[in-house]
Structure 1
Amino acid sequence: MNNLEKLFYFRGVSAEYLNYSAERIVVPHEIRVKLLEAVGYDVTDDEAVAQAVYELDALPWKSWLKTFNILRSGESEYLDIRVHPEEKTTSISYQITTEAGELLEGELTPAELPEVGEYYIDGIRYRAHRYPLAGLPLGYHQIVLSNASRKEQAVLAVVPPKCFEIGNGHSDRLWGINCQLYTLRSERNWGIGDFSDLMELIAGSASVGMDVVALNPLHALDMSAEDFSSPYSPSDRCFLNPLYLDPERIPEFWECQTVVSQFRSPACQKKLAALRGLTHVDYRGVAELKYPVYEALFQHFLAQEIELRTERAKAFDLFVQQRNDSLTRFSQHESRLDFQSLGVSRGTSTDPRFHQYLQWLAQQQLQQCQTLALECGMSVGLMGDLAVGAVKEGAEVQGNAELFCDAATIGAPPDPFAPQGQNWNLPAPDPIALQRDNYRHFIELLAANMSCVGAIRIDHVMGLLRLWWCLPGLAGGAYVYYPFEDLLAILCLESHRNNCMVIGEDLGVVPQELRSRMAATAVYGNKVFYFETTHDRQFKPPQDHQVDAMLMVTNHDVATLAGWWNLADLSLRAAMGLVDTVNELPDRLRQRRADKIRLLAWLRSQELLPESWLTDNSHSKVEQPFDISLCGAILRACARSRSRMMLFQLDDLQLLEEPVNIPGTHREYPNWRKKQAIETKALFKDSQILALLASTYRERKQ
Structure 2
Amino acid sequence: MAPDQTEELLDELVELAEAAGVDTSFWGGARDRVPVDALRAVLSALGVVAGTADEVRRSRAELELAPWRRLLPPVVVVREATESDVPVHAAHGSLVAVWIIAEDGSRHEVPERDGAREVRVVDGVRTAKTAFAVPTHLPLGWHTLHAEIGGRTAQCSLVVTPGRLTSAPPSPAGSGWGLMAQLYSVRSSRSWGIGDYADLADLASLSGAQYGADFVLVNPLHASEPKPPVEPSPYLPASRRFFHPLYIRVEDVAEYAYLDHQSRTVVEGLAAQRHPANLDADVLDRDSTYAAKLAALEAVYAVRPSPARAHQFAAFRQTQGQGLEDFALWCALAEQLPSDAPEWAIEPRGPHGLLASERRAGLADRIDFHCWLQWLCDQQLGAAQRAATDAGMGIGIVHDLAVGVHDHGSDAWTLAHVLAQGVTVGAPPDMFNSQGQNWLQPPWHPARLAETGYAAYRDMLRSILRHAGGIRVDHVLGLFRLWWIPAGAGAGEGVYVKYDHEALIGILALEAQLAGATVVGEDLGVFEPWVRVYLAERGILGTSILWFERIDGVPVAPEAYRRDCLTSVNTHDLPPTAGFLAGDHVSLRESLGLLGRPVEEERRADAAEQESVLELVRERGLLEQPGQPSVQPSVQPSVQPSVQATVEALYAFTALTPSSLLGVALVDAVGERRTQNQPGTVDEYPNWRVPLADQDGVAVLIDDLPTNARFASLVRATGR
TM-score by length of 2: 0.87
| 1:59 pairs with 2:49 | no
Contact kept, 8 Å, 1:409 with 1:425, in 2: the verdict is yes
Q: CA deviation at 1:179?
A: 0.5
Aligned equivalent of 1:296: 299
CA distance in structure 2 between the partners assigned to 1:449 and 1:695 by the alignment:
33
| 1:261 pairs with 2:278 | no
Secondary structure of 1:175's aligned partner: strand
Q: CA deviation at 1:336?
A: 0.5
CA distance in structure 2 between the partners assigned to 1:613 and 1:692 by the alignment:
22
The match for 1:338 among 335, 339, 363 is: 335
Secondary structure of 2:194's aligned partner: coil
The match for 1:457 among 456, 460, 472 is: 472
Aligned equivalent of 1:529: 546
Contact kept, 8 Å, 2:187 with 2:199, in 1: the verdict is yes
Contact kept, 8 Å, 1:113 with 1:131, in 2: the verdict is no
| 1:642 pairs with 2:658 | yes
The match for 1:589 among 594, 600, 603 is: 603
CA distance in structure 1 between the partners assigned to 2:372 and 2:549 by the alignment:
45
Residue 147 to residue 596, structure 1, CA distance change in 2 (3 Å) = closer
The match for 2:442 among 410, 423, 427 is: 427
| 1:321 pairs with 2:318 | yes
Aligned equivalent of 1:140: 142
Aligned equivalent of 2:358: none
| 1:8 pairs with 2:17 | yes
1:127-155 deviation line (CA, Å, top 9, x unaligned): 32232412221111123222443222222
**Amino acid of the residue matched to residue 459 of structure 1?**
D
Contact kept, 8 Å, 1:39 with 1:407, in 2: the verdict is no
Aligned equivalent of 1:567: 583
**Amino acid of the residue matched to residue 541 of structure 2?**
Y
Residue 93 to residue 533, structure 1, CA distance change in 2 (3 Å) = closer
CA distance in structure 2 between the partners assigned to 1:270 and 1:64 by the alignment:
63
CA distance in structure 2 between the partners assigned to 1:685 and 1:275 by the alignment:
19
**Amino acid of the residue matched to residue 666 of structure 2?**
L
CA distance in structure 2 between the partners assigned to 1:273 and 1:286 by the alignment:
11
Residue 170 to residue 434, structure 1, CA distance change in 2 (3 Å) = farther
Residue 381 to residue 116, structure 1, CA distance change in 2 (3 Å) = farther
CA distance in structure 1 between the partners assigned to 2:159 and 2:271 by the alignment:
53
Residue 416 to residue 24, structure 1, CA distance change in 2 (3 Å) = same
Residue 57 to residue 280, structure 1, CA distance change in 2 (3 Å) = same
Aligned residues: 669
1:436-481 deviation line (CA, Å, top 9, x unaligned): 1111111112111222111111111111111111112234121111
**Amino acid of the residue matched to residue 611 of structure 2?**
I
Secondary structure of 2:292's aligned partner: helix
Aligned equivalent of 2:221: 218
Matches within 5 A, 1:242-281: 242-257=245-260, 258-265=262-269, 269-274=272-277, 276-281=279-284
Residue 670 to residue 694, structure 1, CA distance change in 2 (3 Å) = same
CA distance in structure 2 between the partners assigned to 1:86 and 1:596 by the alignment:
69
The match for 1:197 among 196, 199, 202 is: 199
The match for 2:703 among 681, 684, 696 is: 681
CA distance in structure 1 between the partners assigned to 2:627 and 2:176 by the alignment:
29
CA distance in structure 2 between the partners assigned to 1:225 and 1:113 by the alignment:
63
- Uncovered stretches (5+) of structure 2, i.e. residues with no partner: 1-7, 339-360, 631-639, 694-699
Aligned equivalent of 2:514: 497
CA distance in structure 1 between the partners assigned to 2:173 and 2:15 by the alignment:
48
Aligned equivalent of 1:31: 38
CA distance in structure 1 between the partners assigned to 2:626 and 2:325 by the alignment:
61
Aligned equivalent of 2:684: 668
Residue 93 to residue 374, structure 1, CA distance change in 2 (3 Å) = same
Contact kept, 8 Å, 1:466 with 1:480, in 2: the verdict is yes
CA distance in structure 2 between the partners assigned to 1:378 and 1:442 by the alignment:
28
The match for 2:383 among 343, 351, 368 is: 368
Secondary structure of 1:405's aligned partner: coil
CA distance in structure 1 between the partners assigned to 2:654 and 2:503 by the alignment:
35
1:310-347 deviation line (CA, Å, top 9, x unaligned): 12111111111111121111000000022799xxxx99
Q: CA deviation at 1:167?
A: 2.7
Contact kept, 8 Å, 1:190 with 1:276, in 2: the verdict is no
Q: CA deviation at 1:205?
A: 0.9
Residue 70 to residue 42, structure 1, CA distance change in 2 (3 Å) = closer
**Amino acid of the residue matched to residue 24 of structure 1?**
R
Q: CA deviation at 1:408?
A: 0.7
Moved more, 346-355 or 633-642: 346-355
- Uncovered stretches (5+) of structure 1, i.e. residues with no partner: 617-623
Matches within 5 A, 1:163-182: 163-167=165-169, 172-182=174-184
Residue 598 to residue 24, structure 1, CA distance change in 2 (3 Å) = closer
Contact kept, 8 Å, 1:275 with 1:281, in 2: the verdict is no
Residue 58 to residue 572, structure 1, CA distance change in 2 (3 Å) = closer
Percent sequence identity over aligned pairs: 29
For the aligned residue pairs, the C-alpha RMSD in angstroms reads: 2.8
CA distance in structure 1 between the partners assigned to 2:313 and 2:365 by the alignment:
19
Q: CA deviation at 1:612?
A: 9.0
Q: CA deviation at 1:360?
A: 0.5
Residue 171 to residue 58, structure 1, CA distance change in 2 (3 Å) = farther
Q: CA deviation at 1:190?
A: 0.5
Moved more, 643-652 or 225-234: 225-234
TM-score by length of 1: 0.89
Moved more, 207-216 or 256-265: 256-265
Secondary structure of 2:371's aligned partner: helix
Matches within 5 A, 1:623-642: 626-642=642-658
Q: CA deviation at 1:416?
A: 2.8
CA distance in structure 2 between the partners assigned to 1:323 and 1:304 by the alignment:
20
CA distance in structure 2 between the partners assigned to 1:35 and 1:566 by the alignment:
42
Secondary structure of 2:263's aligned partner: helix
Contact kept, 8 Å, 1:163 with 1:523, in 2: the verdict is yes
Q: CA deviation at 1:70?
A: 2.1
CA distance in structure 2 between the partners assigned to 1:168 and 1:664 by the alignment:
35
CA distance in structure 2 between the partners assigned to 1:391 and 1:508 by the alignment:
22
Residue 333 to residue 123, structure 1, CA distance change in 2 (3 Å) = closer
| 1:604 pairs with 2:618 | yes
CA distance in structure 2 between the partners assigned to 1:612 and 1:355 by the alignment:
58
Q: CA deviation at 1:4?
A: 4.9
Contact kept, 8 Å, 1:114 with 1:130, in 2: the verdict is no
Contact kept, 8 Å, 1:43 with 1:49, in 2: the verdict is yes
Secondary structure of 1:697's aligned partner: coil
Residue 478 to residue 170, structure 1, CA distance change in 2 (3 Å) = farther
1:25-48 deviation line (CA, Å, top 9, x unaligned): 111222211222234444347776
**Amino acid of the residue matched to residue 335 of structure 2?**
D
| 1:520 pairs with 2:537 | yes
Q: CA deviation at 1:232?
A: 0.5
CA distance in structure 2 between the partners assigned to 1:151 and 1:264 by the alignment:
62
Q: CA deviation at 1:5?
A: 4.9
CA distance in structure 1 between the partners assigned to 2:430 and 2:710 by the alignment:
40
Moved more, 430-439 or 64-73: 64-73
Secondary structure of 1:337's aligned partner: helix
| 1:237 pairs with 2:252 | no
Residue 505 to residue 170, structure 1, CA distance change in 2 (3 Å) = farther
Contact kept, 8 Å, 1:189 with 1:276, in 2: the verdict is no
Aligned equivalent of 2:719: 697
Aligned equivalent of 2:188: 186
Contact kept, 8 Å, 1:165 with 1:501, in 2: the verdict is yes
**Amino acid of the residue matched to residue 263 of structure 1?**
V
Secondary structure of 1:602's aligned partner: helix
